[in-house]
Amino acid sequence: MTLQTAEILSRVDDILAAHDGLEGPLLPILHAIQESFGYVPQDALPVIAKSLNLSRAEVHGVMSFYHDFREDPAGRHVLKLCRAEACQSMGADRVAAHAQNKLGIEWHETTRDGQVTLEPIFCLGLCACAPAAMIDGKLVGRVDEARIDSILAGVSA
Amino acid sequence: MKDFIIPDRDFGTPAAKSKTMVTLTIDGFDITVPEGTSIMRAAAEIGITVPKLCATDSIDAFGSCRLCLVEIEGRAGTPASCTTPVAPGLKVHTQNAKLKQLRRGVMELYISDHPLDCLTCSANGDCELQDMAGAVGLRDVRYEAVETHFKAKNTSGEANPQYLPKDDSNPYFSYDPAKCIVCSRCVRACEEVQGTFALTIEGRGFDSRISFGAKTDTAITSDCVSCGACVQACPTATLQEKSIIEIGTPERSVITTCAYCGVGCSFKAEMRGDELVRMVPYKHGKANRGHSCVKGRFAYGYASHKDRILSPMIRDSINDPWKEVSWPEAMEFAANRMNGLIAKHGRHSVGVITSSRCTNEETFLVQKLTRAVFQNNNTDTCARVCHSPTGYGLGQTFGTSAGTQDFDSVEETDVVILIGANPTDGHPVFASRLKKRLRAGAKLIVVDPRRIDLVDSAHIKAAHHLQLTPGTNVAVVTAIAHTIVTEGLFDEEFIRTRCDWDEFQDYAAFVADPRHSPEATQLLTGVKAEELRAAARLFARGGNGAIYYGLGVTEHSQGSTTVIGIANLAMLTGNIGRRGVGVNPLRGQNNVQGSCDMGSFPHELPGYRHVKNDSVREVFESLWGVKIDNEPGLRIPNMLDAAVEGTFKGLYCQGEDILQSDPDTKHVAAGLAAMECVIVHDLFLNETANYAHVFFPGSSFLEKDGTFTNAERRINRVRKVMAPKQGYADWEVTQMFANAMGAGWAYTHPSQIMDEIAMLTPSFAGVNYERLEEMGSIQWPCNEQAPEGTPLMHIDGFVRGKGKFIVTEYVATDEKTGPRFPLLLTTGRILSQYNVGAQTRRTENVVWHDEDVLEIHPHDAEVRGVRDGQFVKLASRSGETSLKAKITDRVSPGVVYTTFHHPDTQANVITTDYSDWATNCPEYKVTAVQVSPSNGPTEWQEEYNAQAAHSRRVLAAE
C-alpha cells in the first residue's frame, strides 16, 4: 500500500533538510528515501528536483538508471537471483525457474501475500560460489532447488 | 542536424575558441586549427567527413555512437574523433581496413534494432542513419532481430513490452520511440542549447529510452517548451516536425528573419513549391546562432489561416457591414475620404500609425506618407506604448537611442542585472543564451515584482531577487546607485575619462543622500535593504556587468527615469564600451528598433533628428520636393484626444491593433468612433478594424522583401518566399494609397526604399541590399567611419561626447492603491503567445495558453474567497473585466498579474491613461485594482463582443 501524498512530502522534506549542503546529494537522497519508505515514491521526484535545482526529467533519469531504486514497495522479503554468465553456467536458470514456480510469480513480482519479491540481479561478485543469491541483503552461495526451498521456508515462517 | 537535403555543413563538434593554433595531419593533409578542436572537426575543415551519429556541431561531443573511430599513429586503439582533441604533429587516419570493419559492425548493431521502412519513413532522404548506412557500406546485417524496440507485436502476436507507441501530444512534432537510436542528441540539445532539461535518458542498457519529463509525462505535460532544438538535433525520424510527416521533404530554402520578438532570429524557410514546409533556425544567424523558440519555429500557421482577409473592404459607416471591393476601388474610396477631410478640416486633421511588425521600408513609406503627402508630422508607432522611454533615456545619457551590445556579448558577461523583463517567455532565444552563460558561472540579479522562471528553474538560480512593489523601479535603481557611491564601489577612472565629472559630482551627491539608501526606501519598495546592498556590491565588483531590461522598466509613469537610472548604473561601474557589459533593452517586437529608427515618432525624422532642425528638414525637402512641417505632430494618445474633441478625423493605421494593445480601451474606442476615416491595414479584421471604414488586407513576412532591425541594432533581411496571398506586399499597398492621394511614387523594389533611407540618414549611409547580401546582416551605425557596422557602441567615447549622469528623483505614480482598489495589477506575456495574439491565437500555440488568467497570491485569494480556476471580476478606476484566477505565490501579496493575449479578456479596459512623463509611454505595469469572485463576463465584455460581431459582418458576394 502506498502512503498518502502529504505524508510522503513531509518525510521527503525532512530527508532533503538532512542532506542540505551536501555535495553531489541526489544519490544519497534517493538512498535515504528508499531506506525510509522501502521504495522511492514518484511523488517525491518533483520535490527533490525543485530542491536540488534540477529538472523532473533529470531526477527521473538518474533514478531509473539504478535498478535498485524501486518505484513500488517490495514484499517483506526480497530474493535476488544472479543471472550473470558464471551463475548461468552453473545452473542459475534452472534454479530461477524453480523459484518462480515455487513462488508462483515472475521476475519483479511480489507474492500475493506480500511476503516475497523476486528479482534478477547481474553479478553479486560471488562467482566462485555460483549460482549466487541474496535474501534481504544477505549473500547465499551455491544455491540449488533445495537451498531455495529452505531460504523460502525460512522467510515465510 | 538533419541537413542533407538542403546542406548546411555540420562540423560535428562546436568550434574551439583558443588563439593557440595546432597543426596536425589527417589522411596525409596538413591542417592547422585552434587548440581544443576535435579531430572530427579538424577533418571536416579540410572536407573529410568522418562518419558519425551522436555528434552535431550545436552540442558538445559525447562519444557514444562509436562510428567516428579513427586511428592515430603511435597511439593505441581507435579513439572516437569527436571526443579526441587535436595535438601538434598527430598523424590521423580516418579510413582503413580496420576502421571500415569496425564501423560496419557498429552499424549492423544499430540497424538490427531499427525498422527498415525507409521508403515510407518521414525522414526518407533526410536521415543520418540512412546516410551512415550508405557511408560505411552496410550490405547485410548478421544479427537477427529477436527482441526489438520497434515491433509492436512479436511473431506469435503478443504485445512487445519494449514497444512504445508514438507520442503525438505536441501539436508541432511527434516522438516515435520505434525509430530512436538513443544517441542522446535531443537530450543534450535540450540541456545545452535550450537549457530546459525537459528530456532525459530513462533506464539503461537495452532499456534506455528517451523520456520527456518524468515517468508519467508526455511531451506536452513535461517541461518541454517546444523550442524545436531536439527536433533539429535528431538524426532520424524519431523527433520529426508534423509538417514534414504531412507534406514531405522540402526542396529549397530561403533565409529570412522571424517576425515575432525583438531578438530577430534568422531562419531558413524550407519550401516545396510555394508551400512552406518548415522553419529551421539558421546556424549562421548572428542573433540566434541556430536556436529558435516555439513561435518562430512552429507558429507560422496564421499566415494561411482562414481568418486572413484577402480582399480590400470598404464601408460608409462602422455600423454597416463590410463590402469587398477591388484594390483600385478601395484606393479611390480611401483617397477621396482622406482628401475630403484634409480639404474640410485642414492637413493636421489626419495622420498615420506605423507598425513595429512591418519592415523598415514599409515603416519609412508610412511616415513619408504623412510627412510628404499629408504634409504634417502626425505619425506615431506602437513603440510609443513599449520602448519610447528607451529611446529618450539612452539618447539623453549616451547619445543613441539603442542598446549598446550585440547578443554574443552575453557570452562574456559575469554579472547580469535583469530588470522588468521575463526573457524565458518574451525573448526565449536570448534567454537560452543567457542561461548557458549562467550555467557557466555568471551571476544573475533579478529585479521583478514576480518570481519569473529565471529566478529559480533547473540549473538556474538568481543570486538575488529584488521583488519590488510595482512602480518603484526608480527607487530601487537609485538605492543600488546609493550603495555603489557611498561604499566607494564606483569606477572613478572610467567616470573621469568618459563622463562629465562635474555632472557626476552632482549626481553622486544626490544619490548619496540618506533618503535614497536601501534602508530608507525598503518600506516603499518592499526590497530588503541587505539584499539590495548585496546585489549592488555584486554588480559593482563582480566583473563584467551587463544590464538587460524590458517593458517592466519602460511602461511606467517614470519609465524614462528608470532608463536613465540604468544608464547611470552602467556608467558608474564602468560597464560600457566592451564585450560582456552594456545596457541592453530587450525590444518587444521584431522591428521596434527599426520603426523608431525610421522616423515614426511625430517629433523626429528618420535617424532621430528633430523636425525643428532646419538643416535636416532641408535634406528631406530637397529630395522629396515638398515642404516639411517644422512642428512636431500628434502622438497616439494626442490623436485620440483630438479625435474625441473633433479636430482629428482620419487615420491610416498599419499593422497595429491599438484598440487591444493601447491602454484605456474605452477611450481608444471613443477616439476611433469619432473619426470619419479609419483605414486599417492588417492581416486580420483586428479589434481596431471594428471602427474602420477601409480595410487594406496586409501581407505576412513570408510574402515580401525588406529588412527588420532587432534589439541589437542588427538589420536583417526579410525575404519573400511566396507571393502575397492578397496580391500586394504592404509597401506596395502604401504606395498605391499614396499615389491615389497624388504622391507619384515609383518604387519597384524595397531595395530602392532602403537606398533612399541610406541617402537621408547618416547612421544608415553604408546600408544597401548588396552589402546585406554579402555580410548577412549589419548593425547600425554603418557609414564611412564604420563600414562594417557597429556591434558594440561607445567603445572609445560616448556618441554624445561625455556620458551624462542625470539625477533620478523618484516620484510615486498617481495610480495608488486605496480602500476601493487595494491591489496592484501588473501585466506581462507568456512564451507561447505573442502580444495581442492576433497571430499566435491562430496557431496550435493555443494548446499551451488558451485564455488569460489572473495570478493572485494565496493570501489575497483567501480573504476574497477566490478559488483557483474560478471566474473573478477585475476592476479598476477605468473599467472592469472578468477572467479566471490562478492562485500562485509567484506574485507577492498585494500584487496580481495577467497577460493580454486574448481580446476576450480586455485587460486594457482596466489599465489607466497615466503615462511616462517624457514620452507618454502608458503605465501598463501598475494599476490599482480590486478582485472579487464573479459568475462570468462583465457587461462591458458582452457589449464589446456584440459590437465586434456586428462590426465584422461582411456582405455576401453578389
Mean pLDDT of B357-384: 93
Would you place residue B139 in the very low, low, confident or very high pLDDT band (cuts 50, 70, 90)? very high
pLDDT at position A2, please?
Answer: 54
Cα–Cα distance list, B122 to B49, B246, B587, B867 (Å): 25, 8, 38, 46
Would you place residue B832 in the very low, low, confident or very high pLDDT band (cuts 50, 70, 90)? confident
Would you place residue B812 in the very low, low, confident or very high pLDDT band (cuts 50, 70, 90)? confident
pLDDT at position B576, please?
Answer: 94
Q: Do A53 and B211 touch (CB under 8 A)?
A: no
Tell which of B187, B210, B215 to mutate to test the A interface (max A CBs under 10 Å).
B215
pLDDT at position B29, please?
Answer: 96
Q: Do A71 and B215 touch (CB under 8 A)?
A: yes
Judged by average pLDDT, the poorest of B446-455, B735-744, B836-845 is B836-845
- Continuous segment of H or E residues that includes residue B570: helix B559-572
Give me the total of CB pairs closer than 8 Å, taking one residue from chain A and one from chain B: 61
| Strand-strand pairing, B252-257 and B266-272 | antiparallel
pLDDT at position B6, please?
Answer: 59
DSSP B411: G
Evaluate whether residue B456 is within a structural domain: yes
pLDDT at position B905, please?
Answer: 77
Computed over every residue of chain B, the mean pLDDT equals 93
pLDDT at position B219, please?
Answer: 94
pLDDT at position B298, please?
Answer: 95
pLDDT at position B1, please?
Answer: 43
Contacts of A57 in chain B (CB under 8 A): 197-200, 211-214, 217, 222-223
Q: Angle, nearest 10°, between helix axes A44-52 and A5-18?
A: 30
Closest CA of chain B from A67, distance in Å: 8
Please name the residues in contact with B183: beta carbons below 8 A apart, sequence gap of 6 or more.
B53, B54, B62, B64, B65, B235
Q: Which CATH number is B56's domain given?
A: 3.10.20.740
Whether the CB-CB separation of B396 and B692 falls below 8 Å is answered with: no
Annotated ligand binding at A87? The verdict is yes
Would you place residue B908 in the very low, low, confident or very high pLDDT band (cuts 50, 70, 90)? confident
Please indicate, yes or no, whether residues B580 and B597 belong to a single structural domain of this protein.
no
Evaluate whether residue B957 is within a structural domain: no
Please indicate, yes or no, whether residues B504 and B552 belong to a single structural domain of this protein.
yes
Evaluate whether residue B426 is within a structural domain: yes
Judged by average pLDDT, the poorest of A33-47, A71-85, B455-469, B892-906 is B892-906
Would you place residue B154 in the very low, low, confident or very high pLDDT band (cuts 50, 70, 90)? confident
Q: Among the three residues B585, B618, B641, which one is the final residue of a domain in this structure?
A: B585
Please indicate, yes or no, whether residues B474 and B553 belong to a single structural domain of this protein.
yes
Report d(CA A80, CA B634) in Å as an integer: 82
pLDDT, one tens digit per residue, over B10-65 is: 999 999 999 999 999 999 999 999 999 999 999 999 999 999 999 999 999 999 99
- Residue A95 predicted with pLDDT over 60: yes
pLDDT at position A57, please?
Answer: 96
3-state secondary structure B41-76: HHHHHCCCCCCCCCCCCCCCCCCCCCCCECEECCCC
Q: Which CATH number is B859's domain given?
A: 2.40.40.20
Residue matched to cell numbers 478582485: B931
Report d(CA B492, CA B481) in Å as an integer: 14
Report the chain B residue with the minimal C-alpha distance to residue A57. Answer: B213
pLDDT at position B911, please?
Answer: 83
Would you place residue B937 in the very low, low, confident or very high pLDDT band (cuts 50, 70, 90)? confident
Would you place residue B8 in the very low, low, confident or very high pLDDT band (cuts 50, 70, 90)? confident
Q: Which CATH number is B190's domain given?
A: 3.30.70.20
Whether the CB-CB separation of B62 and B53 falls below 8 Å is answered with: no
Residue matched to cell numbers 521476475: A107
- Residue B7 predicted with pLDDT over 80: no
Would you place residue B940 in the very low, low, confident or very high pLDDT band (cuts 50, 70, 90)? confident
- Residue B942 predicted with pLDDT over 90: no
- Residue A3 predicted with pLDDT over 80: no
Report d(CA B178, CA B181) in Å as an integer: 9
Of A58, A64, A71, Cβ closest to residue B197: A58
- Residue A157 predicted with pLDDT over 60: no
Of B203, B216, B458, Cβ closest to residue A64: B203
Please indicate, yes or no, whether residues B677 and B759 belong to a single structural domain of this protein.
yes
Q: Which of B757, B779, B770, B769 is nearest to B364 (CA)?
A: B757
Please indicate, yes or no, whether residues B703 and B738 belong to a single structural domain of this protein.
yes
Whether the CB-CB separation of B164 and B202 falls below 8 Å is answered with: no
- Residue A1 predicted with pLDDT over 50: no
Mean pLDDT of B239-246: 96
Would you place residue B957 in the very low, low, confident or very high pLDDT band (cuts 50, 70, 90)? low
3-state SS assignment for residue B501: helix
CATH placement of domain A77-156: 3.40.30.10
B196 touches chain A (CB under 8 A): yes
Q: Do A60 and B214 touch (CB under 8 A)?
A: yes
Q: Among the three residues B135, B164, B194, which one is the final residue of a domain in this structure?
A: B135
Cα–Cα distance list, B261 to B2, B296, B357, B411 (Å): 26, 9, 9, 21
Q: Which CATH number is B513's domain given?
A: 3.40.228.10
pLDDT at position B945, please?
Answer: 85
Q: Do A53 and B204 touch (CB under 8 A)?
A: no
ipTM of this predicted structure: 0.89
Evaluate whether residue B332 is within a structural domain: yes
Contacts of B456 in chain A (CB under 8 A): 53
Cα–Cα distance list, B372 to B84, B351, B622, B747 (Å): 64, 12, 11, 15
Please indicate, yes or no, whether residues B503 and B621 belong to a single structural domain of this protein.
no
DSSP B371: I
Whether the CB-CB separation of B397 and B567 falls below 8 Å is answered with: yes
pLDDT at position B86, please?
Answer: 97
Mean pLDDT of A134-148: 93
Please indicate, yes or no, whether residues B270 and B340 belong to a single structural domain of this protein.
no
Of B201, B459, B460, Cβ closest to residue A61: B201
pTM, to two decimals: 0.93
Q: Do A60 and B211 touch (CB under 8 A)?
A: yes
Count of other CB atoms within 10 angstroms of residue A22: 10
- Residue A85 predicted with pLDDT over 60: yes
Evaluate whether residue B790 is within a structural domain: no
- Residue B472 predicted with pLDDT over 90: yes
Annotated ligand binding at A129? The verdict is no
Q: Which domain holds residue B450?
A: 389-585
3-state SS assignment for residue B640: helix
Would you place residue B5 in the very low, low, confident or very high pLDDT band (cuts 50, 70, 90)? low
Whether the CB-CB separation of A95 and A81 falls below 8 Å is answered with: yes
pLDDT at position B49, please?
Answer: 94
pLDDT at position B880, please?
Answer: 87
Report the domain count for chain B: 5
Report d(CA B538, CA B530) in Å as an integer: 12
Q: For B548, phi and psi rounded to 5 degrees?
A: -115, 135
Report d(CA B592, CA B661) in Å as an integer: 15
**pLDDT: which is higher, B931 or B924:** B931
Please indicate, yes or no, whether residues B748 and B890 belong to a single structural domain of this protein.
no
**pLDDT: which is higher, B382 or B186:** B186
pLDDT at position A154, please?
Answer: 85
